[in-house]
Amino acid sequence: MKELPKSRHLQVFLEVARSGGILSASRSLNMTQPSVTRVIKELETYIGTPLFIRTNVGVSLNHAGTLFHTHTLAYVHGMQRAVSDVQREFCQRGESFSVGYSSLVGYIILPDVINEFKMVNKGVTINIHEGQLSSLLPMINNRTLDCAIGTVSGNSLACEYHSEKLFSSRFAVFSSVLSPYARARSLKELRTAKWVLPETRFGYYYQLNSYLEQYGIDVSSAIRTDSISSILSLVTRADYLTVLARQMGGGRNKNLSLYEVKIAEELPVADYHFIHSKSCFPSVFLEGFMNIIRERCPANLW
């Protein structure tokens, strides 16, 4: 039986095909350009035909490459399923899947998604971590997390991540019902309020800082935390204000005792993305989780 291509060759091939260029593939794989070029040439030599069309602006799959790409994906996914099935049946250690998420995801869609995922993957241990992307991305890098869902602004995300937009959401200012600021009608009326905001170095809340400062709000004095329970406690018990997704104040979340301050200004809209690392093949669990998320996230603005 002829020796099969090495898994590294297949990984490089798939990434070059996905990214459309040797340079971008080398960056996401943490390899040098010559190394990526050498691997592709070795694979083409092994198969006996070129797999890419090379131009001044990048590369694209030719007919042979397209055919090989289809079979390679099927092979990789089949191998992942085989390993998963054998481990589930014969190994003592259990399978696990870890996801990070922001507060809106946790309160709106995550419970139903987790339930559906567990119905299909009964033996899988699920670990969930709440926080902003600035704290979740390092956990993806060290493989503590398989994926994360959070807000992304513009091109703030580094090139080593896959990012797929899921939905957009409007945000609002929230107080307690009895807060002296509950009846305010503009952001300027909130300049003397106490604020508690999620801690982040980029993404939606990083962008929001500049927006609030335009109205004279001193965000530098705001309490910063990734704990939604701490935010809720400070808002409902200590007269702090916060900014959260508008859905946090309605529907099944009315028992959170948040009151939306009806200001005239519209806060910036946030785009929520599904994010995972480019350095690893998507696992069977990751693909299944992504499909459930896609089905449950509406395409329109929340």
Tens-place pLDDT, residues 40-76: 999 999 999 999 988 887 888 899 988 898 888 778 7
Q: What are the extents of the domains in the chain? A: 7-89, 94-168+271-296, 171-268
pTM, full prediction? 0.67
pLDDT tens for 107-118 read: 888 888 999 999
CB 90 within 8 A of CB 235: no
Cα 30 from Cα 154, distance rounded (Å): 24
At residue 183, the pLDDT reads 94
Over residues 279-291, the mean pLDDT reads 84
DSSP state at residue 280: S
Strands (E), the chain: 52-55, 58-61, 96-101, 125-130, 147-151, 161-169, 171-175, 194-197, 223-224, 240-245, 259-260, 270-277
pLDDT tens for 144-183 read: 888 999 888 766 676 778 888 898 999 999 999 899 999 9
- In CATH terms, the fold of domain 7-89 is Arc Repressor Mutant, subunit A (1.10.10)
Average pLDDT, the chain: 85
Same fold, 94-168+271-296 and 171-268: yes
50: burial class by Cβ within 10 Å (0-12, 13-18, 19+)? Answer: middle
DSSP output for 15-34: HHHHHTSHHHHHHHHT--HH
Nearest residue to 243 via CA among 99, 101, 100, 104: 104
CB 191 within 8 A of CB 216: yes
CB atoms near residue 72 (< 10 Å): 19
Per-residue pLDDT band for 188 (boundaries 50, 70, 90) equals: very high
Distances (CA, A) of 18 to 61, 97, 241, 260: 10, 24, 44, 43
Domain 171-268 CATH assignment equals 3.40.190.10: yes
- In CATH terms, the fold of domain 94-168+271-296 is D-Maltodextrin-Binding Protein; domain 2 (3.40.190)
CB atoms near residue 218 (< 10 Å): 12
Over residues 115-142, the mean pLDDT reads 86
Cα 179 from Cα 65, distance rounded (Å): 63
